Chains A and B, each alone.
Chain A
Amino acid sequence: MRAELLIDAVHIGVVVVDAELKVSTWNRWMGIHTNIPQNKAFGQSLTELFHLDEERIKTLSRRIKTTLKLGSPTFSIASAEGFLLPIPLPLSSRVNFDFMQQDITIAPYDATRVMLLIYDQTPLIESKRREAGKSKKLSIMVENATKTINKLKAAEALLVKQRDVIFRQANYDQLTGLPNRHLFQDRLNHAFKESKRSSKPLALLFLDLDNFKRINDVLGHSVGDDVLVKAAGILKEATRESDTLVRFGGDEFLVLLKDSDKDDALHVANKILKLFKPVMDFKKHTLSLSPSIGIAMFPDHANTPEELIQKADIALYTAKSRGKNQASLFSV
């Protein structure tokens, strides 16, 4: 009698059945949740009480048999199986489910009967589902955001690449890869400001290749282009990274030397002259290649960038007129 009171007092379903699913114990909790009172359930089969389908009958019977044979409990859990016994939820508490989601422990009762302990896990499963929904939503949002970020990054990389291409096209010579007249103007202006501020001199070397027009005319532009590329290579070798080396146009090159006096400028000019060997090979042609170099200084010879270029050009003319393949410092 006391055991029956205890069984009625607990907040879980307690049902004792035999292998044919016939009920011999049905506690108060079951009565309340199924609307089937104890006196009506007693002696009835779970199949009739819950209108069990074939699959559920088979599963329950199998588990009861396992429990009896093992003499040990078996478990079914709501998170994996939903519900084995269709216990309708009250209309007022239906959120996601029409039926109670349940953990059922099937424990041995005696040699022929088992005890079903039924735990209502509906709130837990609903909460798990909400959390899963949230994390699913979140992961979809993260996935979409990642896709968008990747697309933006790809677009940005393409833009950067295009910008670089445009910048190179606008500021560098396609043939030699050296900065062009446009970029040089900017660097020269900047160097002028810096030189004025620091009172350190600037030197500008203005070069052109002796007899280049003749090479171009006689051997063609292809050989001419090779000569220009070779000349650019020699000039790179003769200058520092901090110097600005420019293809100014045609066969004309400029070298801007910051923080350099006349001696420094002459030293670089002589180095260039030495690097141009008297005889060089170009596409089966052996050529004698040399530059002429005009040098002008700031602030000694010019007050503006334009004037500096002009004075270096005059000095170049002097070098040419003196017999080519030499450097000449501007003089008034």
Chain B
Amino acid sequence: MSSLFNARQNDALVETINISFGLAASLIGDMLESYVHLRVPSIHTIPIYKLHETILLQMGETTSFYATKQRFFGSFGGEVIFAFSEESGEEFTALLLRESTNSNEEVQAALLELTNILTASCIGQLSQMLEGESLFAVPDIQKISCTGSSTFHEALEYDNAIVITTALDVAEKNIQGHMFILLSNSMLEKLTQMLKKMFL
């Protein structure tokens, strides 16, 4: 898969996110009262105009999916979108509530709590490494139909998206979420410079 990062920068980013996910895994483990392992199987970047088609591609054969959106402001600013298939959303909610559910509200509440942790830990870690600060806006969650038109028009104010597949291994289940960090060219450049410095 193509990426705006070279192989070493890509590895550095994976490592950084893995570190941040260590804390996230411990918090999610507390939530689920179970051992949780968070992995990052892949990272790549895409131009922003490919966001909608990439999300649909990652969702595979499903009619609808859950997506959370959250902006972050400050010296490191952008937006995070998390996409979960209906199946992954329901599986995670069942683990949290200890019973199966297909209630839209319950799944949305559970996923929001999960992405709160993932976003705060990941963006928090990146901000810290950039020696900056990020403030988070109130997130939003929606169930989106795969056949409808794109609901990510606002994303066009950014230039790139870092696509991070996150795998949550818990109680013999593998729940996959797809994180998209939307950044302007200048923010991406800032991040690239920071990743370069990691090897100096």
Contact present for B109 and A74 (CB under 8 Å): no
- Determine the interface band of chain A, counting residues with CB < 8 A from chain B: 10 to 19
Using Cβ atoms and an 8 Å threshold, which residues of chain A touch B140?
A: 77, 79
Q: What distance in Å separates the Cβ of A13 from its nearest Cβ neighbour in chain B?
A: 15
In the complex, the answer to whether A80 meets B141 with C-beta atoms within 8 Å is yes
Specify which chain B residues have a CB less than 8 angstroms from the CB of A73 in the assembled complex. 120, 136
Tell me the smallest distance from the CB of A67 to a CB of chain B, in Å. 9
B113, CB-defined interface residue at 8 Å: yes
Chain B residue with Cβ nearest A66:
B27
A81-B112 in contact given A70-B117, A70-B121, A75-B139 (Cβ < 8 Å): yes
Q: Flag whether A103 is at the interface (Cβ < 8 A).
A: yes
Is B124 a contact partner of A62 (Cβ separation < 8 A)?
no
- Assess whether A299 is interfacial by the CB under 8 Å rule: no
- Contacting A70 at CB < 8 Å: which of B113, B120, B139? B120
Q: B119: nearest residue on chain A (CB-CB)?
A: A72
Is there contact, CB below 8 Å, between A65 and B139? no
Q: Across the interface, do B108 and A80 meet the contact criterion of CB distance under 8 Å?
A: yes
> Do A80 and B124 have beta carbons less than 8 Å apart?
no
Question: B109 touches which one: A62, A80, A105 (CB < 8 A)?
Answer: A80
With A62-B31, A76-B109 as given contacts, are A103 and B138 in contact (CB-CB < 8 Å)?
yes
Q: Would you call B116 an interface residue if the criterion is a C-beta within 8 Å of the partner chain's C-beta atoms?
A: yes
Is B170 interfacial (CB 8 A cutoff)? no
Assembled-state Cα–Cα distance A71/B124 (Å): 9
Chain A residues close to B by CB (< 8 Å)? 62-63, 65-66, 69-77, 79-82, 103, 105
Q: B15: CB under 8 A from chain A?
A: no
Question: Which 5 pairs between the two chains have the least Cβ-Cβ distance?
Answer: A80-B108, A72-B120, A81-B109, A74-B116, A70-B120
B125 nearest CB across to chain A (Å): 10
Task: Please determine whether A70 and B141 come into contact, CB atoms closer than 8 angstroms.
Answer: no
Contact check, A72 vs B108: say whether CB atoms are below 8 A apart. no
| Most chain A beta-carbon contacts within 10 A, residue among B26, B108, B113 | B113
Distance (whole angstroms) from the CB of A290 to the closest CB of chain B: 68
Taking a contact as CB atoms closer than 8 A, the residue among B30, B120, B141 that contacts A74 in the complex is B120
CA distance A81 to B138 in the complex (A): 13
Q: Are B105 and A82 in contact (CB under 8 A)?
A: yes
Residue pair A75, B138 in contact (C-beta under 8 Å) = yes
**Does A74 contact B138, Cβ atoms closer than 8 Å?**
no
* Cβ–Cβ < 8 Å partners of A76 in chain B: 109, 112-113
Which of B23, B30, B105, B136 contacts A65 (CB under 8 A)? B30
For window 104-136 of B, CB contacts with A under 8 Å fall at: 105, 108-109, 112-113, 116-117, 120-121, 124, 136
Bound CA span A40–B118, Å: 37
A82 and B116 CA atoms in complex are apart in Å by 17
Contacts of B141 in A (CB 8 A): 77, 79-80
Q: Which of A72, A75, A105 contacts B112 (CB 8 A)?
A: A75
Contact A66–B105 (Cβ < 8 Å): no
Chain A contacts for B121, CB-based, 8 A: 70, 72
Chain B neighbourhood of A77, CB < 8 A: 112, 138-141
Chain A residues positioned under 8 Å from B30 (CB to CB):
62, 65-66
Which residues of B sit under 8 angstroms from A70, Cβ to Cβ? 23, 27, 117, 120-121, 124
Question: CB-CB < 8 A to B139: which residues of A?
Answer: 75, 77
Contact A63 B113 (CB under 8 A): yes
Distance (Å) between the CB of A14 and the closest chain B CB? 16
* Closest-CB distance, A237 to chain B (whole angstroms): 54
User: Given the complex, which residues of B lie within 8 Å of A69, measured CB to CB?
Assistant: 23, 26-27
Residue of A63, A65, A81 ringed by the most chain B CB atoms within 10 A:
A81
User: Which residue of chain A is the closest to B105 with respect to CB atoms?
Assistant: A80
Chain A residues whose CB sits within 8 angstroms of the CB of B112 once the complex forms: 75-77, 80-81
Distance in angstroms from B190 CB to nearest chain A CB is: 20
CB distance from B73 to the nearest CB of A (A): 13
Q: How far is the CA of A265 from the CA of B136 in the complex (A)?
A: 93
Q: Distance in Å from the Cβ of A51 to the closest Cβ of chain B?
A: 21
A250 to B139, CA, bound (A): 85
CA distance A298 to B109 in the complex (A): 89
Q: Nearest chain A CB to B98's CB is how many angstroms away?
A: 11
- Identify the closest chain A residue to B136 (Cβ): A73
A121 and chain B: residue at smallest CB distance: B138
Contact with A along B19-48 (1 / 0, CB 8 A): 000010011001100000000000000000
**Apart from A66-B31, A76-B113, what are 17 other A-B pairs with CB-CB below 8 Å?**
A62-B113, A63-B113, A66-B27, A66-B30, A69-B27, A71-B124, A73-B136, A74-B117, A75-B112, A75-B138, A75-B139, A76-B109, A77-B138, A80-B105, A81-B112, A82-B105, A103-B138
Task: Determine the residue in chain B with the shortest Cβ distance to A106.
Answer: B116
30 A-B residue pairings within 8 Å (CB atoms): A62-B30, A62-B31, A63-B113, A65-B27, A65-B30, A66-B27, A69-B23, A69-B26, A69-B27, A70-B121, A71-B124, A72-B121, A72-B136, A74-B116, A74-B117, A74-B120, A75-B112, A75-B136, A75-B139, A76-B112, A77-B138, A79-B141, A80-B105, A80-B109, A80-B141, A81-B105, A81-B108, A81-B112, A82-B105, A103-B138
